[in-house]
């Protein structure tokens, strides 16, 4: 069940400004009825400022009036009519915790999928062309510690994205294209024997 934004603040506003039952408020906000009763008595959440769900567009006045007339009625959260935001074009955002793993992913892509272009690698792992060149030429500042690792395993891209990029690169190179299934991934032994960063 989808809950309103800031459920406790919403519950506080509903307690102060409506005649809804504790059960109605608790179910709508996803909290226990005793906690709602504690809010009404001033024993719980004393420092929380109420938030109007009508002003924030999470509830309509008609829906609120309907629920106030019938104590057994349940409030329904208003669904947004706005379209889902589209992902903007540009480099992929990589979380700070995973950025140090990008050179490993680049090394893996350069070794096992040399048909990929630099822009494709940039898009897959969210890196830059100078970084790719540094890894490829072994001039990267951390070259001694780079170990090729699959970007899908590292969580830098999805398998379907990698398959699509490899298929597009193969098609562009004029190679036979059987789709993502026709591309032979590295064997399990490759992962076991990848202790050294070899060309």
If one compares 195 and 25, the residue with the highest pLDDT of the two is 25
Residue 185 CB partners (closer than 8 Å, separation 6+)? 112
How do residues 157-174 score in pLDDT, each as one tens digit?
A: 889 999 999 999 988 887
Query: How wide is the angle at C-alpha 160 spanned by C-alphas 155 and 163, nearest 5°?
Result: 105
pLDDT of amino acid 90:
58
pLDDT of amino acid 190:
47
How do residues 46-84 score in pLDDT, each as one tens digit?
A: 788 888 988 888 888 998 899 889 888 888 888 766 666
Distance (Å, whole) CA 4 – CA 82: 17
The whole-number average pLDDT for the span 134-144 is 92
pLDDT cut 70: percent of the chain above it: 80
Mean pLDDT of the chain: 82
If one compares 191 and 161, the residue with the highest pLDDT of the two is 161
Q: Is 179 left (phi over 0), alpha (psi -120 to 50) or beta?
A: left
Distance (Å, whole) CA 88 – CA 10: 32
Within 42-138, residue ranges assigned H as helices are 61-69, 102-112, 118-125, 129-137
CA 107 centroid distance within chain: 25
The whole-number average pLDDT for the span 34-54 is 86
Write down the pTM of the prediction. Answer: 0.46
Is pLDDT of 29 > 70? yes
pLDDT of amino acid 145:
92
pLDDT of amino acid 172:
87
The whole-number average pLDDT for the span 119-140 is 91
């Amino acid at each position: 069940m989808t809950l309103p934004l800031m459920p406790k603040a919403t519950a506080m506003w509903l307690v102060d400004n409506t005649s809804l039952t504790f059960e109605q408020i608790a179910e709508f906000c996803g909290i226990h009825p005793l906690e709602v009763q504690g809010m009404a008595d001033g024993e719980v959440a004393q420092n929380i400022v109420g938030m109007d769900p009508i002003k924030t567009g999470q509830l309509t006045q008609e829906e609120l009036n309907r629920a106030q007339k019938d104590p057994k009625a349940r409030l329904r959260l208003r669904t947004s009519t706005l379209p889902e935001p589209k992902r903007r074009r540009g480099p992929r955002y990589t979380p700070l915790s995973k950025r140090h793993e990008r050179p490993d992913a680049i090394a893996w892509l350069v070794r096992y999928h040399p048909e990929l272009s630099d822009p494709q690698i940039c898009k897959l792992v969210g890196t830059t062309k100078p970084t790719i060149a540094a890894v490829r030429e072994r001039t990267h500042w951390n070259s001694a510690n780079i170990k090729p690792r699959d970007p899908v395993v590292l969580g830098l891209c999805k398998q379907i994205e990698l398959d699509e990029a490899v298929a597009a690169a193969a098609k562009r190179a004029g190679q036979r294209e059987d789709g993502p299934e026709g591309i032979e991934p590295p064997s399990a032994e490759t992962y076991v024997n990848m202790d050294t960063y070899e060309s």
